[in-house]
Amino acid sequence: MIAWRYLRARRAEGGVSVMTWISLIGITLAVFALILTMAVRAGFRAEFVDTILGANAHVTIYSTGEIGEDGQLIHGFTAPDAVAEAIRKVPGVTRAAPLIRAKVMVSDGEDTTGAEVYGILPENLATIPRVGKGADALGDLARFPDGVALGAGVARELGVTVGDKVRLISPSGVKTAMGTTPRVKAYEVVYIFTAGRYDIDSTRIYLPLVEAQSFFNKEGTADEIEVMVEDPDAVESYADAILSAAGPSAAPWTWKDSSGAYLRALTIEDNVMFVIMSILVLIAAMNIVSGLIMLVKNKGRDIGILRTMGLTEGSILRVFFICGAFTGVIGTIAGVALGCLTALNIDQIMGFINWLNGADVWDPSIRGIYFLPAKLQFGDVMSAVVLSLGLSFVVTLLPARRAARMNPVEALRYE
């Protein structure tokens, strides 16, 4: 009751000071910034991983080399269908697809760009989450055997759309007495996909496997086997069984091997950002000390009277602890509400910022994905709440204890 009366009192009556309002606003903004930062970091990581797993193999099986019938070393699998079938029988494997991979130049007759061709069976292309059925795409996937599938970035670079034709140019063509002649062939664009990653959409082309084997002079072989599993996070647990099925010349390369360094960098950045934002919460909470010390000074006479009436040190401590903790609680609640509201409406906010700026402030060519994601997680919100309340309560104890230990005789000496 006494704490509530102090909090309601006007400043002229020795009530809540301007410093308390400053600390309240500071805690609100610090908790808001902490929650929004953690939501954006979680969203970015989730979107980054999803785009990796949605358009790439969970495990890629390479061959260290096989000896062909002519005694020459062949880099790749000479019996890819049999190897893929053996891998599909491994428990936990959902798909195993032979692939041809090669770099080419692609042209529409006027513009030319570099690209990476993936030769794949039509039924296997359809099962790639961010490329096949259900993906954000143009054209008819059923017509894939009759042409090529382009990433949206490649199509945009060349200025082509579904129905246009592009030429693939491979330097590894026919060998003649005058040297190697580049191989050139035109294909109709039947499908344009958007995988959600700038580096994939701007470089990748899919070609039917049989056509790719013919184009790159690799009839009957495959460069690698693309494998997808039920639990990509535990991809290491499948490695031994997959290698046993693939044969002695096989070597694995998982999605964590290719993106592990980047994921570790994201984890380190998440931890560093949490520490930095926690310091901001601490700085905001320290303002509570200033406001509470001023309140204790203004209420020195009241403390002396209450003590002489028999109020214990513990009761005085609780009065001023409640005054300080109330600021932390209200600031935390306001910060959580503001942070969650902003995270849930991040797309609209970014759209407004883009409108004010007159251009997109999010560059996918630098950040890899096309938008700023935010993912609210209960654990992140609770971490911010516990941190803010914990710091607010701890910093309140010092001035509250000082008020409780005030000598009533000294407090009333000049009254």
CA distances from 21 to 40, 279, 385, 392 (A): 28, 20, 19, 14
Q: List, for residues 162-199, the tens digit of each pLDDT value.
A: 999 999 988 776 666 566 678 889 999 999 998 888 88
Q: What is the pLDDT of residue 179?
A: 60
pTM of the model: 0.73
SS (H, E, C) the chain: CHHHHHHHCCHHHCCCCHHHHHHHHHHHHHHHHHHHHHHHHHHHHHHHHHHHHHHCCCEEEEECCEECCCCCEECCECCHHHHHHHHHCCCCEEEEEEEEEEEEEEECCCCEEEEEEEEECHHHHCCCCCCCCCCEEEECHHHHHHCEEEEHHHHHHHCCCCCCEEEEEEEEEEEECCEEEEEEEEEEEEEEEECCEHHHHCCEEEEEHHHHHHHCCCCCCECEEEEEECCHHHHHHHHHHHHHHHCCCEEEEEHHHHHHHHHHHHHHHHHHHHHHHHHHHHHHHHHHHHHHHHHHHHCHHHHHHHHHCCCCHHHHHHHHHHHHHHHHHHHHHHHHHHHHHHHHCHHHHHHHHHHHHCCCCCCHHHHCECCCCCCCCHHHHHHHHHHHHHHHHHHHHHHHHHHHCCCHHHHCCCC
CB 42 within 8 A of CB 269: no
Interhelix angle 255-298/300-308, rounded to 10 degrees, is 70
Q: Strand 148-151 relative to strand 179-194: parallel, antiparallel, unpaired?
A: parallel
* The pLDDT of residue 409: 60
What is the predicted pLDDT for the residue at 336?
Answer: 93
Q: Give the residue with greater pLDDT, 376 vs 75.
A: 376
Q: What is the pLDDT of residue 211?
A: 92
Model confidence pLDDT, tens digit, residues 302-337: 666 666 777 777 777 777 778 778 888 888 999 999
Percentage of residues of the chain with pLDDT beyond 90 = 22
Higher pLDDT, 395 or 366: 395
> What confidence score (pLDDT) does residue 14 get?
46
In the chain, what are the domain boundaries?
2-51+262-411, 65-248
Write the pLDDT tens digit of every residue in 26-63.
Answer: 889 999 999 998 998 888 888 888 878 888 888 999 88
Residues 96-110 have a mean pLDDT of: 90
Q: What average pLDDT does the structure give for the chain?
A: 82
User: Across the strands, what pairs with 174?
Assistant: 181
